[in-house]
Homo-oligomer: A and B are copies of this chain.
Amino acid sequence: MNPDLSPLSDVLADAGVDGYLLDADSGDSDQLYLSGFDAPDAFVTLYTPAETALLVSGLEYGRAKSESRADEVARLADYDFPELVSEHGRSEAKRRAVAAFLADFGVESVAAPERFPLGTADGLREQGVSVEVLDEDVVTQIRATKTDEEVEHVHEAQRANEAAMRAAEKMLAAASVEDGTLYYDGEVLTSERVKEEIEVTLLRHGCALDETIVACGADAAGPHNRGSGPLEAGETVVIDIFPRNKATKYHGDMTRTFVVGEPSDEVRRRYDDTREAFEAALDALEPGVTGKAVHDAVCDVYEEKGYDTLRSDSAAETGFIHSTGHGIGLDVHELPRVSPDGGELRPGHVVTIEPGLYDPEVGGIRIEDLVVVTEDGYENLTDYPIQLQVE
């Protein structure tokens, strides 16, 4: 993968600094992206317009050379690290080694992100290196635009997601109902049981995830409620799955809302209205429009039908009470925004479209697909039916 990092060079030129510095493990997606190196312990990445260089421990040296996208890889031991440790202790030794590494590349001043480690920054400053915080997360901004390879990674995660949703829907469809409660395999069917099925299915498709939402009834009326306990017939069950492929580290994301048995007229109406809002967002989606405009298209539909939105009432607790969508990639929530402050959408942006309605009296409803903006519109990366009743 060869990302276009020229915006980062531009920011460095504007700031008048020699390089951009990261000191983080690959759990930090900017680090993973800029270095192309997946490592559990913190390492240093230096970006200059001329080259990208890593500074890693001896343990990671071989792998960093063969797996990272860096032009140069250095080891702590290249800068007398063991001697520095015995003289100054481990923390100060690390700072001095980083300073020597920067000097090697002729770098006297760096920009760093908001969350750059203070210990390293203070140590570099003591060694005479200028360290300046960028308020703007420029690598995060670059990551918003995906290469074809990244889109394929998201698509692959979404295919695993479809299999997991199918497994969950099948479980709901196979459930029997006693006194309004769902039963499966002779036991009460709970949110936890459906989540386990989803997670096992994802594992078998090479994906991991820490969290899944399977929320029923009043639970489903809180957009971020994970859900727990028995599932009930006639109530909405919101299933929101956002797995990460273990090999590529890219995410998928999809939500469906189901009812086992007969939905009320109110639920049916809200589902159809959400479907309409969902289609309105997709109709609005093309390169050049803003995330705000797509979000407004959803608010227009909902408000016209008499629901509250955060646009019509910023204190609303029922109705459409979140944003229309978000970018997705190495992080499950990343740029661009499809929200009131969403900027221009461009080809290669991968976003969710997920309007929903919430009311503790009725339950929650949300429909979410994942799409990529293309030169002439968008491509939907999701292939799963949109229907309220399970089959």
Main secondary structure of the interface of A (DSSP, over half): mixed
Q: A128 on the interface (CB 8 Å rule)? A: no
Looking at the complex, which of A96-104, A109-117, A150-158 is the stretch in contact with chain B? A109-117
Instruction: Enumerate chain B residues within 8 angstroms of A116, measured Cβ to Cβ.
Output: 117-119
Q: A89 on the interface (CB 8 Å rule)? A: yes
Interface residues of A in 103-139 (CB under 8 A from B): 112-122, 131, 133, 135
Q: How many chain A residues touch B (Cβ–Cβ < 8 Å)? A: 29
Q: How many angstroms between the C-alpha atoms of A114 and B224 in the bound complex?
A: 33
Q: How many angstroms between the C-alpha atoms of A133 and B117 in the bound complex?
A: 10
Work out how many copies of this chain go into the complex.
Answer: 2
Q: How many angstroms between the C-alpha atoms of A59 and B223 in the bound complex?
A: 11
Q: A347 on the interface (CB 8 Å rule)? A: no
Interface residues of A in 148-207 (CB under 8 A from B): 196, 199-200, 203-204
Instruction: Enumerate chain B residues within 8 angstroms of A133, measured Cβ to Cβ.
Output: 118-119, 122
Q: How many angstroms between the C-alpha atoms of A199 and B92 in the bound complex?
A: 40
Instruction: Enumerate chain B residues within 8 angstroms of A267, measured Cβ to Cβ.
Output: none
Q: How many angstroms between the C-alpha atoms of A135 and B118 in the bound complex?
A: 11
Q: A376 on the interface (CB 8 Å rule)? A: no
A-to-B contact residues, CB < 8 Å: 27, 42, 59, 89, 91-92, 112-122, 131, 133, 135, 196, 199-200, 203-204, 208, 210, 224, 246
5 nearest A-B pairs in the assembled complex, by CB-CB distance: A114-B119, A115-B117, A116-B118, A91-B135, A118-B121
